[in-house]
């Protein structure tokens, strides 16, 4: 496929903390060497205490986010209870696997808090699903982000400290990855709720 034809290039991170999860992304989308957008949405809220981050094709990401949101709402209407984070991740994994011959050009992080506590899962374009117990990063800037995350992660980290670590990892990635930049979107999810913020670079 010609990589010039769709928005791509990203750094996203997910961190499991003692009292919740932190998801964060930068804002830039590129088409080849062109900066196509400096204000791209890469975190989608799909339930009260659940979100997904996207790296890869913007159109594919938007479609998967819409599918996930609709499936969650249908499940809640039918079962009168929310779907677990693991179940949502498995559902999306199955959707990606069924499209493996014409795959969605995306990597996903799904995270949140449910009855079993804070959870994060990562998914590859053809449905590979892994539960991440501590940290995960996706996208073109992920190798740099991982260096910071691996060095500074602590099992007892609070979401407040997790936000600081996510920002540090993304800022490091943006210094080395030309496809990442233009500010940082952050989501904190705890039993108390879902909180969003934006940081300038």
How far apart CA 30 and CA 119 sit, in angstroms, is 30
Q: Is-contact 135 15, C-beta < 8 A? A: yes
Stretch (H or E) spanning 86: helix 85-98
10, 11, 12, 190: the active-site residue: 10
How far apart CA 150 and CA 166 sit, in angstroms, is 11
**Between helices 58-79 and 85-98, what is the axis angle to 10°?**
130
Strand-pair partners of 108 = 54, 123
11 is catalytic: no
Question: What SS3 state is found at 122?
Answer: strand
Catalytic residues: 10
């Amino acid at each position: 496929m010609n990589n010039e034809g769709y928005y791509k290039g990203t750094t996203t991170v997910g961190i499991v903390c003692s009292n919740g999860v932190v998801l964060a992304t930068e804002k830039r989308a590129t088409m080849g060497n062109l900066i196509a957008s400096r204000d791209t949405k890469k975190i989608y809220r799909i339930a009260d205490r659940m979100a997904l981050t996207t790296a890869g094709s913007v159109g594919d990401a938007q479609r998967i986010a819409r599918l996930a949101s609709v499936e969650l709402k249908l499940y809640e209407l039918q079962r009168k209870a929310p779907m677990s984070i693991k179940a949502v991740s498995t559902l999306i994994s199955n959707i990606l696997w069924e499209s493996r011959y014409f795959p969605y050009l995306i990597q996903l992080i799904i995270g949140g808090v449910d009855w079993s506590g804070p959870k994060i899962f990562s998914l590859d374009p053809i449905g590979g699903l892994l539960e991440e117990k501590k940290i995960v990063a996706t996208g073109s800037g992920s190798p740099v982000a991982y260096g910071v995350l691996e060095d500074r992660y602590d099992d007892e980290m609070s979401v407040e400290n997790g936000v600081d670590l996510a920002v540090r990892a993304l800022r490091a990635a943006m210094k080395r990855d030309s496809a990442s930049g233009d500010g940082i979107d952050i989501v904190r999810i705890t039993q108390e709720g879902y909180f969003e913020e934006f940081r300038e670079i």
